Structure 1
């Protein structure tokens, strides 16, 4: 059977909402809602504590650093432990931390150093949570429903974060600077209860060999990822695209407000367009994969995104930018849903946490690199050039995916 045949296996049915998947979906959406409140409020709080751009940027940077330092370790631990218990335990700890931070903000004890430490610790916990969630999902839904399950999870999270939480932040801030963080703490508690109530058969785990170490298990996960031609090519393509995405996202506000001269209203419209496209992509991802196969769906998405980036960087019209971002968001969700499903389908169950961690860590590493590249391109060659740099990076990514079809 060819790679295309494997990737194009049809969905047999959608996941049932009752039971485990419905609770996991609810936990993921509630948690994403709280995270979006926090991530929108934190930069605003940072600007009230310092006017140093480097210090403000360090808060965001600490959201990437733990993935580079501990992402592989989180995957190895996820393969060793009961994933359900790991997830609700992590959420309880994060809820306690956020509640304590909300109290600190309310009492006027917040500082940039505290923001940096909090961002670092929360993301460190997230490396375990996300890898455990990836490994847990296949035990909650039938194999043929994985694509639909991933699409529903990602779409629900996108709606909760972009269209519910983000507009709510200014309203909460009217009631006090600590309210977004208190709300985030509450969502962690709700998510922990939902995950703790799951009744799922634990994912199979290999018996540990005598003398087995976390380092050896991490190396095994990396080796399994590297030896799978499809996952290796997909990982390389995703990393290249994430470098381009980092360049685009880091400078998008400058692109819209500076190069287009569209102001903050134009920027808000552009971000909303991207969010709307992502939701639409979540609704279409499964159907497209059924028609073309997963790898072809990702290849098509990357090809269309390359064209959208070229138009974004060359046409100086706000409406074109918004349309391009709608298309870009739609194709990005198609890519993400099918990428996640391919990792779950092609990975041995006992090593899924490690393989997904290796994939995610390598891919995440591209974003901060791209942010620096985008900033340098905007400063040296013009505010529209990060989009063109991103398009240039998407070209070899798409080419690497095309080789997987044969």
Structure 2
């Protein structure tokens, strides 16, 4: 990683391995669930279990990230999920796997993910200079997307067909290796020396919530992200039933679903690398809202034309615009939020932005049970379009200015 330093190289390598593990688990778990049941409600519980920890623990994870050594929190979280998935692998190898054990494993891995990911986003600004944040986030996002989708997805499809227990065993090994790589980062990643007079966690959490509520840009982005993620959680919780199997509309094999996610990953790598250049040409806000708008419209393509020949190019475009928007939002947050509040405000943002995902996943399954999967997919696209309209209306005065320009700070109440 030329110019970004040795510590960033270790952080990036750890991120690459942990996200490869995420990709195998993210795609492998729903595919295993589909092999156990065709009930939309039950299949959607996998998505709900993966995201529910964000609703329950995001604020506490952020407060801990601002108090503890962020690198150490990530290392412990990786070790914990490696142990959890190793135990699940043993149960699967013994023939004891069922849907409820699968859900428990996904939920437990999700708990550790909250702490690992919150600290990872907060540790990056301590690793590279501020003027390299967008570049560094682009590199990190590329590693995440390659692991999650470009490599992890097809590997998951293959493992489900050949060796289902390895859907848990392979991520266990990768998470363990990711934790060890973090030991190569030099220095300390704690904001201040430990204090004996620390205020209660609830006070730290309250400060973060007040900051987010009073910051117009962050608040608007968080609300829109919440609507988009809720709708996308409902969409993709049942999309596997729309796409995979002889009874589905598209008729993919599990390996074909993995290839779709590979197509998504290929687009996402490109999007993450060109996001900074696109923002420089079109403007940060225009690029972000444009990416969200295109992504929302693309959700309708598999509904209107449910065929493999439309699905794969659509997945590429999903990846391009999704990754570009993600890089811009993360970089803006890291520049807008003061270092001493970064972990907490990031987690408060992600609570709003991701807290609705378990509700969306569960709701998608329930609605699909009664009115059909197609209605869920079309409805989710509609909700996304409403969210894009809301952020455009709230921040249209910033269309020609960067999201992180100085006027944004005039909206912030700095009272304790």
Which residue pairs with 1:10 in the alignment?
none
Following superposition of structure 1 onto structure 2, how do residues 177-326 of structure 1 map, counting pairs within 5 Å? 177-205=164-192, 210=197, 212-256=199-243, 261-264=249-252, 270-315=260-305, 318-326=308-316
Which residue pairs with 1:92 in the alignment?
79
Paired residues of 1:251 and 1:375 also in contact (CA < 8 A): yes
Choose from 125, 134, 137 the match for 1:147: 134
Q: Does 1:404 align with 2:391?
A: no
Gaps of 5+ in 2: 398-416
SS of corresponding position for 1:263: coil
CA distances 1:237-271 after superposition (whole Å, capped 9, x unpaired):
11111122123212323444699943115756644
CA distances 1:10-48 after superposition (whole Å, capped 9, x unpaired):
xxxx87354011111110111111232234443455567
Which residue pairs with 1:6 in the alignment?
none
Cα shift at 1:103? 2.6
Once the two structures are overlaid, the 10-residue window that deviates more, 362-371 or 38-47, is 38-47
C-alpha change, 1:384 and 1:108, in structure 2 (3 Å) is: closer
C-alpha change, 1:41 and 1:388, in structure 2 (3 Å) is: closer
Q: Does 1:119 align with 2:109?
A: no
Q: Does 1:78 align with 2:65?
A: yes
Which residue pairs with 2:412 in the alignment?
none
State the TM-score, normalized to the length of structure 1. Answer: 0.85
Cα shift at 1:228? 1.3
SS of corresponding position for 1:63: helix
Which residue pairs with 1:327 in the alignment?
317
State the TM-score, normalized to the length of structure 2. Answer: 0.83
Cα shift at 1:128? 1.3
Paired residues of 2:28 and 2:167 also in contact (CA < 8 A): yes
Gaps of 5+ in 1: 1-13
Paired residues of 1:247 and 1:371 also in contact (CA < 8 A): yes
Instruction: Give the Cα–Cα distance (whole angstroms) in 2 for the partners of residues 157 and 80 of structure 1.
Output: 26
Cα shift at 1:116? 3.1
Cα shift at 1:211? 6.7
Instruction: Give the Cα–Cα distance (whole angstroms) in 2 for the partners of residues 330 and 176 of structure 1.
Output: 32
Choose from 341, 362, 368 the match for 2:331: 341
Q: Does 1:356 align with 2:346?
A: yes
SS of corresponding position for 2:50: coil
Paired residues of 1:98 and 1:184 also in contact (CA < 8 A): yes
CA distances 1:318-359 after superposition (whole Å, capped 9, x unpaired):
544443333232111111111111111111111111111111
C-alpha change, 1:49 and 1:264, in structure 2 (3 Å) is: closer
Which residue pairs with 1:3 in the alignment?
none
Q: What is the root-mean-square deviation of aligned Cα atoms in Å? A: 3.1
Q: Does 1:168 align with 2:155?
A: yes
Q: Does 1:389 align with 2:379?
A: yes
C-alpha change, 1:327 and 1:46, in structure 2 (3 Å) is: closer
Instruction: Give the Cα–Cα distance (whole angstroms) in 2 for the partners of residues 157 and 55 of structure 1.
Output: 28
Cα shift at 1:94? 2.1
Choose from 95, 111, 114 the match for 1:108: 95
